Structure 1
Amino acid sequence: MKSLLTLLLLSALHLQAYAAVEEGVRIKDLCRISSAVENNLVGYGLVSGLAGTGDSSRSGTTVRSLRNALLRFGINVDTKEVRSRNVAAVSLTTVLPPYAQPGDKLDVNVTSMGDAHSLVGGTLLMASLTGPDGKVYALAQGPVSVGGFQYDLYGNLVQKNHPTAGIVPGGAMIEKGVETQMVDSDGRLNYSLYDPDLTTVSRIVDSINLQFGPGTAHAVNAGRVEVTLPLEARSNPVRFLTAIEGLKVLPDRRAKIVVNERTGTVVSGGNVTVAPVSITHGDLTVIITTDYLVSQPGFVSRTGAGVRTQVVPDTTIEVNEAEPLSISLSANTSVAELVGALNKVKATSRDVISILQAIRRAGALHAELIIQ
């Protein structure tokens, strides 16, 4: 009896895996090799060649940095003699990808650190980019591309986007790569899911074991899968890992609704359902208008003292109550159908958001409501 149940369970898993192959997502798009991580690099530098839009003499850091840069070329200048506004101090940031090799090039983000008005037309002088360990991994240099501008004259200002931030395309050259070990000495490696989920990780394990044999993979937790490479694949793991990445799995999705109250945007998956519920939503608008009238008796000139012009407020209160919206939903109604029904009765985006929040509090919305 036990063997029969085991056989039925394996058959169900095989059918599920085949269904995932037909309409699934590649494992490559669901998870990554755990050891393949990116590293943030940061640096400090100077941008020269600005048309009078750089840091002022009040920025002592820029003045001292310019003096130190000139000292590297054998020019000794007193900081009091530095008055140029064609230079700006900037911070540099980039990301060192996994498997990066010396000689590869990276884009560098450049942002002003002083009181510069614009970095348009500037060139970044050679600067080092360091990692969290303080070691230099790349050198950056090149013209700064700014997607904006700022021009001012006699108090008139014309500006587009942020001219104090730019990018140096391919401006950083990697001097030192990061060694990434995919497989350990025991022939094991780990995959990390981008969106941890117990059902998804189980399907990934079933798909790998179905293709390469039982015991090849097992789930450590909801976000990690451990894979043991066969002996013949350990000498050349790339081909084996390529085959794993190409397997398709049908991921399980948690029911979520994302609501942005600032823009009135509602985004939900097609699998989000609503329990049977009745919705009544109405608007009450109160308008208070005050007009100030001037009361001036016609006999002011004849009566004299004690009679004067008086300002009299005239207030009108108007109450408008719109006819409430009434909608009844049956079982397993999707959020898309709910939003479509609300649109038919001309409900605004704000109304839809308020109704979704009320349904969630009533326990009739079978999804996680994320409000941004």
Structure 2
Amino acid sequence: MKKFSTLLLAASVIFLTLPTEAARIKDLAKVQGVRSNQLIGYGLVVGLPGTGEKNNAFSEQTFRTMLNNFGIKVPDNLKPKIKDVAPVAVHADLPAFSKPGQTIDVTVSAIGEAKSLRGGTLLQTFLKGVDGRVYALAQGSLVVGGLGAEGADGSKVVINTPTVGRIPNGASVEREVPSSFNNGDTITFNLNRSDFTTAKRMTDVINGLVGADTAQALDATSVQVYAPRDPSQRVSYLATLENLEVDPADESAKVIVNSRTGTIVIGSQVKLKPAAITHGGLTVTISENPQVSQPNAFSNGETAVVPNSSINVQQADSRMFKLDTGNSLDDLVQAVNQVGVAPGDLMAILEALQQAGAIQGELVIL
């Protein structure tokens, strides 16, 4: 433990020697086991100005159950009007290390035919984890950013989404999620983007501060580091490690093409081999000019409309440009801008370059 305590003091000296383009470990990786947990529940929002649920089976059942919990028995032959009530799904993220008594934000979404949750209040709702246990209780007034209005003739205006709202600090944590953070002799960093080079560099930086064989890269994602068992020392130790700076590896050369939106992203590592490109657009225009045909006199014929179609084909002028070996991203963008092609045409050019083996990188089409 003395080794860890002594070497922690040297961290500030190491930081000064790192390049400015480096990134902190806390920005490149997450500690294994330290994560949030999703919670979900089912509840009722009351106090709506007539924009709640229509009378359907499961909403009525929920309403009756709520009243029964308060000792109010609704006769079976009585059909309650619940237009001011809406059944909702409530969900939240429980951050790591959350303790009982702390509060978290919740999101409330209508799951029936409610038109708006504006002005409503969520009644006490149990929020459960994937294991079925209750970890938080939610209740409070909703903040709804949407707005809806409807006229008598059926016309309506909807702004944003009035059937979804939030309750800031609307849930109280009731149970802590067990964590493995203080267990064992090691902690593991998982890279946000898997890369063997980045994992190796992170290992070298940690070993350079703490000592040889303190950290080891398990694969392209995980770096395992020996750590003290005492919780307070482990927290201080991790606080030092996560602020160490590492030079992340350059991303692999990729060209990302989204065929649905026309978005094209070209990575800075993409290089080109020599290639000559020409691309021309073919425009076909079809116009309809119907004509009226009159029959001859005394022919007993009928006037008819005769279709008359004209087709015009235009071939746009094509200009050829040459791309030299090792052209950078700037050169490619400049060449494409000179030709003046649209995003759809650029997609076709990139695909052709990939098939010709002229792109040194991966073409990814979404």
> Normalising by structure 2, what TM-score?
0.89
Structure 2 residue corresponding to 1:237, chosen from 234, 239, 257: 234
Structure 2 residue corresponding to 1:27, chosen from 4, 25, 32: 25
Query: Residue by residue, what CA displacement relative to the aligned partner does 1:292-315 show, whole Å, maximum 9, x if unpaired?
Result: 100225x52xx252x332322222
Query: Residue by residue, what CA displacement relative to the aligned partner does 1:168-224 show, whole Å, maximum 9, x if unpaired?
Result: 222111111113232433x21111111111111000001111111111100111110
CA–CA distance in 2 between the matches of 1:86 and 1:316?
62
Q: Do the aligned partners of 2:97 and 2:177 also contact (CA within 8 Å) in 1? A: yes
Q: CA deviation at 1:235?
A: 5.7
Pick closer, same or farther for the CA change 1:234–1:137 going to 2, 3 Å: closer
Query: Residue by residue, what CA displacement relative to the aligned partner does 1:280-336 show, whole Å, maximum 9, x if unpaired?
Result: 111001111121100225x52xx252x332322222110011012422111222334
Q: Which amino acid aligns with 1:236?
A: Q
Pick closer, same or farther for the CA change 1:320–1:50 going to 2, 3 Å: same
Match of 2:320 in 1: 326
Name the SS of the counterpart of 1:209 in structure 2: helix
Q: State how 1:179-218 maps to structure 2 within 5 Å.
A: 179-185=178-184, 187-218=185-216
Q: Which amino acid aligns with 1:341?
A: A
Q: Which amino acid aligns with 1:171?
A: G
CA–CA distance in 1 between the matches of 2:354 and 2:156?
49
Match of 1:14 in 2: none
CA–CA distance in 2 between the matches of 1:125 and 1:234?
39
Structure 2 residue corresponding to 1:345, chosen from 339, 343, 356: 339
CA–CA distance in 1 between the matches of 2:94 and 2:228?
31
Query: Residue by residue, what CA displacement relative to the aligned partner does 1:135-185 show, whole Å, maximum 9, x if unpaired?
Result: 100011111222211111221111112221222222111111113232433
Structure 1 residue corresponding to 2:60, chosen from 63, 78, 82: 63
Q: How many residues align?
A: 349
Q: CA RMSD for the aligned pairs?
A: 2.1
Q: Do the aligned partners of 1:190 and 1:226 also contact (CA within 8 Å) in 2? A: yes
Match of 2:223 in 1: 225
Pick closer, same or farther for the CA change 1:320–1:20 going to 2, 3 Å: farther
Match of 2:246 in 1: 249
Name the SS of the counterpart of 1:308 in structure 2: coil
CA–CA distance in 1 between the matches of 2:147 and 2:334?
44
- Structure 2: gaps of 5 or more residues: 1-14
Q: Do the aligned partners of 2:52 and 2:86 also contact (CA within 8 Å) in 1? A: yes
CA–CA distance in 1 between the matches of 2:240 and 2:304?
90
Q: Do the aligned partners of 1:49 and 1:86 also contact (CA within 8 Å) in 2? A: yes
Structure 1 runs (4+) greater than 6 angstroms displaced: none
Q: Do the aligned partners of 2:228 and 2:234 also contact (CA within 8 Å) in 1? A: no
Match of 2:10 in 1: none
Q: CA deviation at 1:129?
A: 0.3
Query: Residue by residue, what CA displacement relative to the aligned partner does 1:54-94 show, whole Å, maximum 9, x if unpaired?
Result: 1100x211111111111222211136331120111111111
Structure 2 residue corresponding to 1:258, chosen from 256, 259, 266: 256
Match of 1:172 in 2: 171
Pick closer, same or farther for the CA change 1:344–1:291 going to 2, 3 Å: same
Q: State how 1:14-93 maps to structure 2 within 5 Å.
A: 21-57=19-55, 59-78=56-75, 80-93=78-91
CA–CA distance in 2 between the matches of 1:357 and 1:104?
54
Pick closer, same or farther for the CA change 1:147–1:337 going to 2, 3 Å: farther
Q: Do the aligned partners of 2:48 and 2:85 also contact (CA within 8 Å) in 1? A: yes
Q: Which amino acid aligns with 1:137?
A: Y
